Amino acid sequence: MRLDLAFSRAFAAFEYGGPLGDAIVRMKHGDRPELARRLGRLLAATLARALEEGGGDAPADAIVPVPLHPRKLRRRGFNQALELALAAQGRLRAVVAERRTRAPPPVERRLLLRVKDTRELGRHGPAARRSEVRGAFAVTDRRRVEGRCLVVVDDVMTTGATLGACAETLMRAGAREVRVVALARA
């Protein structure tokens, strides 16, 4: 079955499983935000490729972490996608200082909101995942989206439903291009 997703390209640093899979589960469900910062450094090289290569005509303008619904954010205490994005961006800034290359774009913390409190999608199939995330996201300021190339970051990409819903929301708000990056691909 072919899915039409709104993003132009997808990047993943690793295949999901083994010790990495265990670390991701501990990070998200074991109250371990420091793991997100460590894992984010592992994401830096892949994020750099997505920011520069992407397949588009120009480098990306901003990094957009997949948001959590406020209720889930309160329960978890941190947004793992935001922490991964910030750690990866921090690692890229260090590399830029060494190599004197172009600085990475900013992390847009509040450009995209999760307005629907979706249930955990871990054990659901592609159709159920797409249905659950339909209408789950909203843009806070269209002017900060219009004509820009954005890179959306998440921890795990399974079917692409969540990242696809984020990309669709950003494209409808006027983004020129949306690329997606995940720490791991299931």
Count Cβ atoms below 10 Å from residue 56 Cβ, excluding itself. 15
The pLDDT tens digits of the residues spanning 128-137 come to: 788 888 999 9
Q: Whole-prediction pTM value?
A: 0.92
Give the sign of the dihedral formed by CA 48, CA 13, CA 44, CA 101: negative
10-185 topology per CATH: Rossmann fold (3.40.50)
Count Cβ atoms below 10 Å from residue 101 Cβ, excluding itself. 12
In sequence order, which ranges of the chain are alpha helices (DSSP H)?
18-29, 33-52, 70-76, 80-99, 126-133, 161-172
Q: What is the pLDDT of residue 101?
A: 66
**DSSP characters for 173-186?**
TT-SEEEEEEEEE-
The pLDDT tens digits of the residues spanning 43-84 come to: 999 999 999 865 555 789 999 999 999 999 999 999 999 999
